Chains A and B, each alone.
Chain A
Amino acid sequence: MSQQVCHIKWNADGLIVDGQQADLLPHEGGLKELLAAYYKSLGLNYPKFHKMDNLSKLGVLGVAMLSAQYDLSAYADDAIAMHFQNASASLDTDWVHQQNINEGKAASPANFVYTLPNIVLGEIAIRNKWYGENLFVVADSFDLERWMKTNQVLFDQNKAEAVLGGWVEVLEEKFELELYFVVKQ
């Protein structure tokens, strides 16, 4: 068995942290500027953030909000599995790489490295020094019950004490984060 102990839902309609709803922070421009506004308001001092694509930024910010809400430091460095899903994989960044190719421009290695959806897991792992299980699944929509079923498999197989993850989706300025922290009972 398991228990959901924290939930964050974040999209263009607003931000809900454990049922507490708030309007989005004021920002000028698009998603990049919105994410920068949250980086600032969370007081993060993490220069690597600025090199990330929007998908990784969204995931890293979500986990920073979650860890401000719920103490994750009690867990061993490999006890938290990361299991994320989304619909568009890394297409938001793939499209930038593809446009360079289409226009005959040189590919950018700094961009190419983000053309895999599991890079967001890597960025979260680096920032939090987590060595746990990694799983990135691509699906049409977020099926919470199915996501939980896979988490239960990780618990039953003694692979994790907790699962951090959910839905992290970015495509052409549209974004959706549904972040959960689930604890093995």
Chain B
Amino acid sequence: MSFIAAPHIISPLGNSVHENFERALVGQSALRLHSDHPFAPVDIPFGIITDHERSEGWTKLESLCLQSCQQSLAQLKDTSGKWLLIFCTTKGDIDRLASGLSEEVKPQYLVQKVAKELPIDIDTEVVSNACISGLLGVIMAHDYVSTGVYDHVLVLGGDLFSDFTYKGFESFMALSAQACKPFDANRDGLSLGEAVVSVVVSDKKEIFSQVDCQVLGGASANDANHISGPSRTGEGLYRSIQKTWKQTGLSAEEVDAVSAHGTATRYNDDMESIAFHRAGLAAKPINSMKGYFGHTLGAAGLLELVMSMESMRAGIFLSSLGCEAPGTTEEINVVTENTPMEIHTLLKTTSGFGGCNAAAIIQKIQ
């Protein structure tokens, strides 16, 4: 068991968890048209952070990562102990590649640069496991502190909208022309967004000035099926959920709500519906937050976990913005209106290219 708190979110919706949650509550979306962006097409909505401070000699992603880490650490009463900083990202500062191969394009360069500026001694690690990276970072953090390898882990997730990823997803024909519609019967693709998120995982409750949630555990699993196509049986996601029951000693009955991946591509959302159905979760309130932020890739799992923590605190399960009429292979209980409810135990899931899947459970502290 570990505690998870001191969160921070930088997204187009705001520069704190509070701002992001309040704007999501009133149905605001980060996804909009950008007429003055250097490479984003003007007729497709994206979630791009346009209002941000950048330090001299620092890229946008480096600056936002440092700011988020500083905001998380500032929420702690005590920073003594052995620390690890896990940077969860799919592509890091990949747009630097336009001018050629360099050390600076590597994510370990970014995280080491950020770590040097923090007021604590901290080891660094980069988890780059496609779109499960952010949640996998939290699971690893939980496992590291539970086994005493580290006292505290600062988990940082960050990916930006880049020409590199935009052109790739465009070639995949995976992008929707409108703001994405997760789990909707008429969904037709994902929307790209960007976010930088951080949180602290520790087995020492006393370091936090405010702590509401604990991580009970999680697991990852591969589909062993296809590197880019979701499994038709939802095998890897189903197995990652089964392994999460084993890790936590819980079962489907004890879960109050599910924060799904829900990218709004036809095949991904169908795959998730099949896995949730198999796992006995079809009747549980399920949401996707991609309609608020777009797909923030390596940051997504962490972003949605932190937003879920705020949901649990507020007692409101967020609507799956963009979903008007749910329609997936298996019928699942997609929440399409903000729903006041007591969320004591929440399951978070993610899936990504390479056939990877991850699931984890967080619970409110009594």
Please, how many angstroms separate the alpha-carbon atoms of A107 and B164 in the complex?
Answer: 9
Instruction: Name the segment of B20-28, B60-68, B201-209, B215-223 touching the other chain.
Output: B215-223
Q: Is the CB of B108 within 8 A of A140?
A: yes
Cβ-defined partner of B143 (8 Å) among A89, A134, A138, A153:
A153
Which chain A residues border B94 with CB–CB below 8 Å?
Answer: 94
Instruction: Name the segment of B7-15, B126-134, B257-265 touching the other chain.
Output: B126-134
Is A157 engaged at the interface, CB distance under 8 Å to the other chain? Answer: yes
Q: Is the CB of A138 within 8 A of B236?
A: no
Q: Known: A107-B170, A118-B130, A157-B147. Contact between A133 and B97, CB under 8 A?
A: no
Q: Is the CB of A130 within 8 A of B127?
A: no
Q: Which residue of B lies closest to A86 (CB)?
A: B128
Instruction: Name the segment of A9-17, A22-30, A33-41, A95-103 touching the other chain.
Output: A95-103
Task: Kindly state the interface size class of chain B when it binds its partner.
Answer: 35 or more
Which chain B residues border A150 with CB–CB below 8 Å?
Answer: 140
Q: Is the CB of B97 within 8 A of A94?
A: yes
Please, how many angstroms separate the alpha-carbon atoms of A108 and B228 in the complex?
Answer: 14
Q: Known: A94-B164, A134-B356. Contact between A118 and B128, CB under 8 A?
A: yes
- Looking at the assembled complex, report how far the CB atom of A148 sits from the nearest CB atom of chain B, in whole angstroms: 12
Please, how many angstroms separate the alpha-carbon atoms of A63 and B277 in the complex?
Answer: 34
Q: Known: A107-B168, A121-B354. Contact between A135 and B129, CB under 8 A?
A: yes
Chain A at the B interface: mostly helix, strand, loop or mixed?
mixed
Residues of B335-353 whose CB lies within 8 A of A: 352-353
Which chain A residues border B32 with CB–CB below 8 Å?
Answer: none
Cβ-defined partner of B227 (8 Å) among A122, A131, A138, A149:
A122
Task: Kindly state the interface size class of chain A when it binds its partner.
Answer: 35 or more
Instruction: Name the segment of A64-72, A109-117, A177-185 touching the other chain.
Output: A109-117
Q: Known: A134-B129, A149-B149, A156-B147. Contact between A107 and B223, CB under 8 A?
A: no
Is B224 engaged at the interface, CB distance under 8 Å to the other chain? Answer: yes
Which chain B residues border A87 with CB–CB below 8 Å?
Answer: 106, 108
Q: Is the CB of A78 within 8 A of B221?
A: yes
Please, how many angstroms separate the alpha-carbon atoms of A82 and B227 in the complex?
Answer: 15
Please, how many angstroms separate the alpha-carbon atoms of A158 and B147 in the complex?
Answer: 11
Which chain B residues border A137 with CB–CB below 8 Å?
Answer: 125-128
Q: Known: A122-B353, A123-B227, A126-B227. Contact between A136 and B127, CB under 8 A?
A: yes
Cβ-defined partner of B236 (8 Å) among A102, A131, A136:
A131
Please, how many angstroms separate the alpha-carbon atoms of A121 and B91 in the complex?
Answer: 17
- Looking at the assembled complex, report how far the CB atom of B173 sits from the nearest CB atom of chain A, in whole angstroms: 8
Which chain A residues border B235 with CB–CB below 8 Å?
Answer: 131
Is B80 engaged at the interface, CB distance under 8 Å to the other chain? Answer: no
Q: Is the CB of A138 within 8 A of B108?
A: yes
Q: Is the CB of B144 within 8 A of A91?
A: no
Residues of B17-69 whose CB lies within 8 A of A: none
Q: Known: A112-B171, A121-B354, A125-B355. Contact between A157 and B247, CB under 8 A?
A: yes
Which chain A residues border B172 with CB–CB below 8 Å?
Answer: 109, 112-113
- Looking at the assembled complex, report how far the CB atom of A57 sits from the nearest CB atom of chain B, in whole angstroms: 13
- Looking at the assembled complex, report how far the CB atom of B60 sits from the nearest CB atom of chain A, in whole angstroms: 18
- Chain B 119-154: CB-based contact to A (< 8 A → 1; otherwise 0): 000000111111010001000100110110100000
Q: Is the CB of B354 within 8 A of A133?
A: no
Please, how many angstroms separate the alpha-carbon atoms of A37 and B224 in the complex?
Answer: 26
Q: Which residue of B lies closest to A172 (CB)?
A: B101
Q: Is the CB of A134 within 8 A of B222?
A: yes
Which chain A residues border B354 with CB–CB below 8 Å?
Answer: 116, 118-119, 121-122, 134
Please, how many angstroms separate the alpha-carbon atoms of A53 and B294 in the complex?
Answer: 29
Q: Is the CB of A89 within 8 A of B221?
A: no
Which chain A residues border B363 with CB–CB below 8 Å?
Answer: none
Is B226 engaged at the interface, CB distance under 8 Å to the other chain? Answer: yes
Is B78 engaged at the interface, CB distance under 8 Å to the other chain? Answer: no
Report 23 cross-chain contacts, Cβ distance below 8 Å, ordered by A residue. Answer: A94-B97, A100-B167, A101-B167, A102-B98, A112-B167, A112-B168, A112-B171, A113-B172, A113-B353, A116-B352, A118-B130, A118-B353, A119-B354, A121-B129, A131-B223, A134-B354, A135-B136, A137-B125, A138-B108, A140-B108, A157-B147, A158-B247, A159-B243
Using a CB–CB distance below 8 Å, which chain A residues touch chain B? 77-78, 82, 87-89, 91, 94-95, 97-98, 100-102, 106-109, 112-113, 115-119, 121-123, 125-126, 128-140, 149-150, 152-154, 156-159, 171-172
Using a CB–CB distance below 8 Å, which chain B residues touch chain A? 90-91, 94, 97-98, 101, 105-108, 125-130, 132, 136, 140, 143-144, 146-147, 149, 163-164, 167-168, 170-172, 217, 219-228, 235-236, 239, 243, 246-247, 352-356
> Given known contacts A87-B106, A125-B222, what 15 new A-B pairs fall within 8 Å (CB)?
A88-B106, A89-B107, A107-B168, A118-B352, A121-B356, A125-B223, A126-B225, A126-B355, A131-B235, A134-B356, A135-B220, A137-B126, A157-B147, A158-B247, A159-B247
Give 8 nearest A-B pairs by CB, closest first: A122-B354, A112-B168, A107-B171, A125-B222, A138-B126, A118-B354, A107-B167, A125-B224
